[in-house]
């Protein structure tokens, strides 16, 4: 009986010593688990687009008579830019240029119609988006410019205008490098005083809807993850 009691006491002493040793050992920090995005939008990209432009323009005579004109037509062009992703937020800049055939006319002018035609659209814009893996939802805005022409009873008077362009879009990565996008943009160029061929003013604001494809020159396998 004494042997059993002594054996039990020895086991208890060993267990107490082990617990005391555990209490005295310094605690090791647990490494935080960081889940990296499966796809990164960071990098330069180059692409092309097609689409349709439409809008409302007008020509105004010196007497103040306004001839409103609905315009519409196709466009084709290209774009280049750069994205930088932090967590799920994507910031970037993009430049685009389109050849357009967006035009229309008002036939109510005596002896001749008023024609408005836009032949080129371009922009330089900032982009800000929210990425959900391979999907990117973004807004964009910046400088816009156009090449356009006004014509009535004589030849066209061509002009170039600068203004602003704003819009929003959705982009999806089909592979690690190829993406497709759908984008809406509004271009506002204000009112231009005509001359020397015509007298009066002309205005031609444009909405565009575009479908595009980009090749992303990725700079890394994953996005930058902020540490707090």
Domain boundaries, the chain: 43-218
**Three-state secondary-structure class, residue 207:** strand
CB 200 within 8 A of CB 24: no
**Three-state secondary-structure class, residue 158:** strand
- pLDDT per position as a tens digit, 136-177: 999 999 999 999 999 887 889 999 999 999 999 999 999 999
**pLDDT beneath 50: ranges in the chain:** 1, 4-7, 9-11, 13-14, 18, 20-22, 33, 228
**Three-state secondary-structure class, residue 11:** helix
pTM metric for this prediction: 0.78
* b/e burial code for range 164-187 (CB count within 10 A of at least 16 → b): bbbbbbebebeeeeebebebebbb
Query: CA 176 to CA 42: how far, in whole Å?
Result: 11
The pLDDT > 90 percentage for the chain reads 61
CB 212 within 8 A of CB 49: yes
CATH tag, 43-218:
2.40.160.20
């Amino acid at each position: 009986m004494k042997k059993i009691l002594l054996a039990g006491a020895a086991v208890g002493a060993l267990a107490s010593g082990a617990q005391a040793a555990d209490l005295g050992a310094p605690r090791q920090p647990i490494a935080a688990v960081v889940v990296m995005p499966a796809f990164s939008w960071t990098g330069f990209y180059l692409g092309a687009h097609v689409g349709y432009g439409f809008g409302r323009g007008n020509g105004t005579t010196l007497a103040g008579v306004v001839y409103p004109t609905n315009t519409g037509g196709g466009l084709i062009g290209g774009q280049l830019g750069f994205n930088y992703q932090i967590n799920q937020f994507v910031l970037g800049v993009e430049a685009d240029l389109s050849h357009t055939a967006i035009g229309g006319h008002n036939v109510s002018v005596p002896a001749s119609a008023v024609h408005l035609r836009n032949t080129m659209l371009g922009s330089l814009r900032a982009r800000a988006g929210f990425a959900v893996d391979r999907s990117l939802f973004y807004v964009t805005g910046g400088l816009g410019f156009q090449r356009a022409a006004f014509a009535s009873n004589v030849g066209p008077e061509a002009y170039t205008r600068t203004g602003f362009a704003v819009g929003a879009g959705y982009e999806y990565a089909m592979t690690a490098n190829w993406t497709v996008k759908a984008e809406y943009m509004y271009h506002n160029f204000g009112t231009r005083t005509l001359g020397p061929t015509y007298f009066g003013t002309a205005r031609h604001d444009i909405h565009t809807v575009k479908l595009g494809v980009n090749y992303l020159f990725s700079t890394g396998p994953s996005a930058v993850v902020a540490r707090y």
